[in-house]
Structure 1
Amino acid sequence: MIAALPTPVQALIDAANRGDTEGFLDGFTEHGTVDDWGREFRGRSAIRGWSDREFIGVRVSLEITGVTGSGAEYTATAQVGGDGFNGPSHFTFEVDGALVSRMTIRA
């Protein structure tokens, strides 16, 4: 059994899998950041541009295969599918209250 993700993280993953860009963006803090293999996208507009080109815009799918973490930081191992990158990846989320302040993607 895979450990549960905190609600803010699960909401981001669910929005991505639904193709719901607005729901995905609503899950980040005002100055939320996506770090995609060292490239940082900060704030709603920058995250939207990245997502339109490389995430939800290419019909990403995330199948969570493992979860570690506690408190404010969680890492989800996922099998990524869609019309962009496909393969295993690690997504580390920093949670700030009811929202995510940072999502970091690595191998």
Structure 2
Amino acid sequence: MSIGGIESIGGFMPLAAPVVSAPSTATAPTSGADFGSMVLDGLERLEGIQDSADTLAVRAASGTLPNIHDYTLAATEAEVATKLTVAVRNKAIEAFTEIMRMQVG
């Protein structure tokens, strides 16, 4: 499955970076959500996806889920969302580490 195909998974809303054009000066404000809010929003969505998969797992185990494929799809969606979140976290840590190695001066 390609990264471009993630959007087709029902209910999954990928973390979206704000669209920011190159500022004309160094002090020009940018529009869009700040990074911290985007991270918190993405984590809340991930938690919701995982909660949904957990609920369906309990229903499947108790025999009250009429279509087992609903759980299979939710579990796969939760797995993909978790992998994507971990990959973004790893890249952020890598970028932070690289920034900390930069010499000022």
Q: Greater strand share, 1 or 2?
A: 1
Q: TM-score, normalised by structure 2?
A: 0.24
Give the number of the structure with larger relative contact order, counting CA–CA contacts within 8 Å between residues 6 or more apart: 1
Structure possessing the higher radius of gyration over alpha carbons = 2
**TM (normalized to structure 1)?**
0.24
User: Which structure features the higher share of helix residues?
Assistant: 2
